[in-house]
Amino acid sequence: MFSKSKINDPIDPNKKADADHKPAVSAPVTPAPRAPMAPAAAAQAPMAAGRQPKPAPSIISADLTIKGNLETTGDMQIEGKIEGDIRSHLLTIGQNAVVRGEIVADDVVVNGRVIGRIRGQKIRLSSTARVEGDILHKNIAIESGAQFEGSVQRSEDPIGQAGPQKKLSAPAFEANGAQQPLNS
């Protein structure tokens, strides 16, 4: 069904195109050996070219629960449970994830549950999102089926604007003092 690509085959203008024509096999070309770089020069090579590979996102897996604040300048994907504040560039909350605390990120995609305030340039609540808290945003998208309880406020600088916030207690306690588990 598919034929071999002839993009890299040499073209001979004196020969007619022939379906049975096979290009002549030439000796493999090997690149000239390079002198080894010093470790410092090797580390600076990507920076000198002006390109640095984008690091992979930090992933909090579904079987992990973290009590404390998380902060990164890169991307983060949460699939587990977080009790604390999160700061990130791009934050994705997985469908079964639960976050209790404030979220501050340039881009936020919520597929799971968030209990707390969200501040971000671009915020998207998917159809499986469940949010209990206020949202401060520049751009927002809420898909049909998303559950949201709180207020929404547009701001030109939602990340820099701190404003008052309802204080959420990190661990919730029942009247008898027993700690309640995070429920998703």
116: exposed, middle or buried (C-beta count within 10 Å: 0-12, 13-18, 19+)? buried
Tokens of 4: 């071999």
Q: What are phi and psi of 23, to 5 degrees?
A: -65, 150
pLDDT(174) > 50: no
Give the chain's count of helices (H) and strands (E): 1, 14
Q: How far is CA 171 from CA 22, 64, 143, in A?
A: 72, 16, 30
pLDDT(82) > 80: yes
d(CA 107, CA 89): 6
> 128's torsion region: left (phi>0), alpha (psi -120 to 50) or beta?
alpha
Give the torsion sign (CA, 158, 160, 166, 172): positive
Q: Where are the alpha helices (DSSP H) in the chain?
A: 39-48
The per-residue pLDDT for range 93-145, each reduced to its tens digit, is 999 999 999 999 999 999 999 999 999 999 999 999 999 999 999 999 999 99
Higher pLDDT, 98 or 2: 98
Tokens of 130: 């469940």
pTM: 0.61
d(CA 24, CA 51): 39
